Structures are given as structure tokens and as C-alpha cells.
Chains A and B, each alone.
Chain A
Amino acid sequence: GESVGLHLPTLSVQEGDNSIINCAYSNSASDYFIWYKQESGKGPQFIIDIRSNMDKRQGQRVTVLLNKTVKHLSLQIAATQPGDSAVYFCAEKREEQTGANNLFFGTGTRLTVIP
């Protein structure tokens, strides 16, 4: 299954399928990106990050792809499991302010895994 983030905030996939969650960012000065997973009633949990000098990074069952040309970020989850059901946010760190490390969050995509 695939989402386009802001235009399709809900994504439903069958257990065992791969999921792709997309995120468009706005600031070309952003140099660091993070994907967070947020389960109901909990704080965001770090999943994976990527710096702007990379275009791909892999973790355990997750891969983040960065396309700086079109300012697009995606999170791929392999063999999606029921425990992956959550809201996923991309966040960017912008470099334009010296000393500033605050993150700018996207709207989020709700992933629902169907057993």
C-alpha cells in the first residue's frame, strides 16, 4: 500500500504486505530528517533518520528514501505487522537558524494493519 501523506492521511494494508508512507517537505535548507511512530496516547517514538547527504538508509524492516530534487521523503516498512499500526510523522530540521535544533513535523499518516 502507498500513501501520499497530506492528501491521503490514512493507509490500510494487509498484514505481511509492504507499506510505503510518503512525506513532502518544504524547506530546501533542511539537512536532517526523522521518521517517528506515534501510538495512541503515547509520545512519538524514533524510527529512523537520514541526513541530507544521503539518499537511502536502512534499518530493521524499515527503509527511508530521500529525494532532495523534489523534496520528498518516504518510509518503507517491510512485512507490515499489526504492531506497526500507528500514526507516522516525518520531521525535518532546518539549518537556517544558528543553534536551532527544533523539528518541523508533517501532518502524519495513520497506518492501519489488517490481520
Chain B
Amino acid sequence: NAGVMQNPRHLVRRRGQEARLRCSPMKGHSHVYWYRQLPEEGLKFMVYLQKENIIDESGMPKERFSAEFPKEGPSILRIQQVVRGDSAAYFCASSPPSQRSYEQYFGPGTRLTVT
């Protein structure tokens, strides 16, 4: 039973390029969350998605960031025109539906470096 999968594990982008981060939830999980972590800090919530729906994007920057969780395929966090301040570790978590939806299991993260 594979856990949450994220790829790539490491991503290097130059300023102005686009970054695409992928997350495949655990089998049977229909809720996906994205978090950002700066070095030596806790995780900051970005967005919460269910299949084809954004439930809560209160932690997403208003510009350049978007997320989707299509009916088929992984969830994608997209960062357009990256800047140095976007360098961070981005973690995806998934949770089962309904009553246990608060139990979140994290992937290994994608470490984005903007040069």
C-alpha cells in the first residue's frame, strides 16, 4: 500500500520559469492538501482540494500560484514566474473521505530551488 507520492523530489528553476509539483494521494484518499515549509519553520497551509473542487485556498498567494485535483491523475501545484522567495519544501498530504478526513498523511515533499 503505497503512501503519498510526490514528484519531483527536487526541482531547480530559474527566476521567471514555471514550476509544476505533482502529488498522488494514498489509495482510497479523496482529499489533498498542499503545505509550504521554509527552512527551520513549521508547515504553512496553502490549499485543500477534493476531486475537481477547491475547498479552501485561503493559504494560497493571490498571484502566480494555482492548484488542481482532476478527476483522473495527480494533484498539481503550479507556480508561474517563480521568484527566489518561492524556494521552499512543498508537502502534499492526503486524507480519507468523510469521517476520518482530518487524518492527514504526508508525502516526502518537493524541494524547490529558484536560482
Contact with B along A87-110 (1 / 0, CB 8 A): 001010100010111111111100
Q: How far is the CB of B9 from chain A (nearest CB, A)?
A: 9
Q: Which of B14-22, B66-74, B80-88, B101-109 contacts A (4 or more CB under 8 A)?
A: B101-109
Contact-residue size bin, chain A (C-beta under 8 Å from the other chain): 20 to 34
Judge whether A27 is part of the interface by a CB distance below 8 angstroms: no
Q: In whole angstroms, how far apart are the Cα atoms of A100 and B35 in the complex?
A: 14
Contact A101 B31, beta carbon cutoff 8 Å? yes
Interface contact A44-B41, CB-CB below 8 Å: no
Number of A-B contacts (CB under 8 A): 57
Is B61 an interface residue when CB atoms closer than 8 A count as contact? no
Q: A-facing mask of B76-115, CB < 8 A → 1, else 0?
A: 0000000000000001000100000111111111000000
B95 — which chain A residues lie within 8 A by C-beta?
101
Question: Contact mask A1-44 → B, CB, 8 Å, 1/0?
Answer: 00000000000000000000000000000001010100000111
Q: Are A100 and B55 in contact (CB under 8 A)?
A: yes
Q: Are B106 and A45 in contact (CB under 8 A)?
A: yes
CB neighbors of B among A65-115 (8 A)? 89, 91, 93, 97, 99-108
B45 to chain A, nearest CB (A): 4
A105 contacts B48, C-beta separation under 8 Å:
no
Q: Are B44 and A105 in contact (CB under 8 A)?
A: yes
Asked if A42 and B108 make an inter-chain contact with CB atoms under 8 angstroms apart, the answer reads yes
**Is the beta-carbon distance between A102 and B56 smaller than 8 angstroms?**
yes
Asked if B43 lies at the interface with its beta carbon under 8 angstroms from chain A, I say yes
Q: Taking beta carbons and an 8 Å cutoff, which residues of B are in contact with A?
A: 4, 31, 33, 35, 40-45, 48, 55-56, 58-59, 91, 95, 101-109
The 7 tightest CB contacts between A and B, nearest first, are A105-B42, A43-B106, A102-B45, A105-B43, A44-B106, A43-B108, A100-B56
